[in-house]
Amino acid sequence: MSFDLVGLSDEEWRRVPYILISHSVPVVAQMATRIAVMRAGQFVEFGPANLVLEHPEGAYATELLAAVPEIQRTGQL
């Protein structure tokens, strides 16, 4: 992923504190070091990105991650 729009390299962007609000789990997975999962305006899970994405503790985060579609690559265009 490139952040040329703001003139920062990928390395520089990782050192900039920011809050990303998104419905796209793949984007969040690529950009975040910590993740907060919200449901109905309340935080239901929070922690390091790798733990929340790989081992969610709550039922809502588990369901949310299970709903992310996977792209099947066949090698054909």
Residue-wise pLDDT tens digits, 6-46? 677 777 777 778 888 888 888 888 888 899 999 999 999 99
Give me the residue spans of the domains in the chain: 21-66
Long-range pairs for 5-10: beta carbons < 8 A, 24 or more residues apart: none
State the pLDDT at residue 70: 78
pTM strictly above 0.85 = no
> Residue 61 contacts by C-beta under 8 Å, 6 or more apart in sequence?
37, 44, 45, 52
The reported pLDDT for the residue numbered 16 is 76
As a whole number of angstroms, the distance between CA 8 and CA 14 comes to 9
